[in-house]
Amino acid sequence: QKEVEQDPGPLSVPEGAIVSLNCTYSNSAFQYFMWYRQYSRKGPELLMYTYSSGNKEDGRFTAQVDKSSKYISLFIRDSQPSDSATYLCAMSRAAGNKLTFGGGTRVLVKP
Amino acid sequence: DGGITQSPKYLFRKEGQNVTLSCEQNLNHDAMYWYRQDPGQGLRLIYYSQIVNDFQKGDIAEGYSVSREKKESFPLTVTSAQKNPTAFYLCASSIGFSYNEQFFGPGTRLTVL
């Protein structure tokens, strides 16, 4: 079993809809959580960075962490075709520890 | 523009040949990393360097080698000992190793013929 699980998708939504992405993990020691966006044949781009449990909002993006359930989420409001990409979650136990990545979820936003 | 550059974008290699992938950053970051990405899989750490002239193995270092002679450069050599080298290779950097926020380059797609 992988330490971090992510549904590979694809997740197809109409433009303007809310995109809901999530990752589950097995290591309760993870404390730092990140979401990256990766366009096809490009490097990942850091979208959100959170520490411990709670919510964080940045523009159209909201990241949620539920450590009790070992579950993190990313919501994208008012989705645009330009949001079509693969979204990777990543997490680490502490500052300076290596990142463990999920396999990524491919998202398609249709005009 | 500050950022990370990787070259070449696409690379083809015959079996049995070593090949070196370039990674350069002008962000003045101390820490640099190499990852491998295969379809449907998460990024896996090959090597990382916390500071110049120092580097450590990651989770899948076998068949790879690195050097860190300059702060801005962290080249990766894929040797003939790497059994399945065809993959997308990503270089990343962070301000320091204690910072989790890593910034990635555009990647190099290596194909072994």
User: Which tens digits make up the pLDDT trace of B28-63?
Assistant: 999 999 999 998 778 999 999 999 999 999 999 999
Q: What angle do CA B52, A92, A71 make, to 5 degrees?
A: 160
User: Which tens digits make up the pLDDT trace of B2-13?
Assistant: 699 999 999 999
Instruction: State the Cα–Cα distance between residues B81 and A111, nearest whole angstrom.
Output: 47
User: Is B76:B89 a contact under the CB 8 Å cutoff?
Assistant: yes
Cβ of A99 and B45 within 8 Å? yes
Q: How confident is the model at residue B1 (pLDDT cuts 50, 70, 90)?
A: low
For the purposes of burial, counting CB atoms within 10 Å of the CB of B77, is it exposed (0-12), middle (13-18) or buried (19 or more)? middle
Instruction: State the Cα–Cα distance between residues B102 and B1, nearest whole angstrom.
Output: 17
What pLDDT is attached to residue A62?
97
Q: What angle do CA A40, A43, A45 make, to 5 degrees?
A: 105
Chains A and B form CB pairs within 8 A to the count of 61
Q: By percentage, how much of chain A surpasses pLDDT 70?
A: 100
Cβ-based contacts of A106 with chain B (< 8 Å): none
Cβ of A49 and B105 within 8 Å? no
For residue A91, give the nearest of A78, A104, A101, A106 by alpha carbon: A101
User: Is A47:A37 a contact under the CB 8 Å cutoff?
Assistant: yes
Cβ-based contacts of B106 with chain A (< 8 Å): 42-43
Q: Searching chain B, which residue's CA lies closest to the CA of residue A37?
A: B104
Q: What is the mean pLDDT of residues A29-37?
A: 95
Residues forming a β-bridge with A50:
A33
| Torsional class of B7: left (φ above 0), alpha (ψ -120 to 50), beta (otherwise) | beta
Structure tokens at B38: 């295969």
Nearest to B100 among A4, A34, A104 (CB): A34
User: Which tens digits make up the pLDDT trace of B66-110?
Assistant: 999 999 999 999 998 888 999 999 999 998 877 778 999 999 999
Cβ-based contacts of B21 with chain A (< 8 Å): none
Q: What is the mean pLDDT of residues A66-81?
A: 96
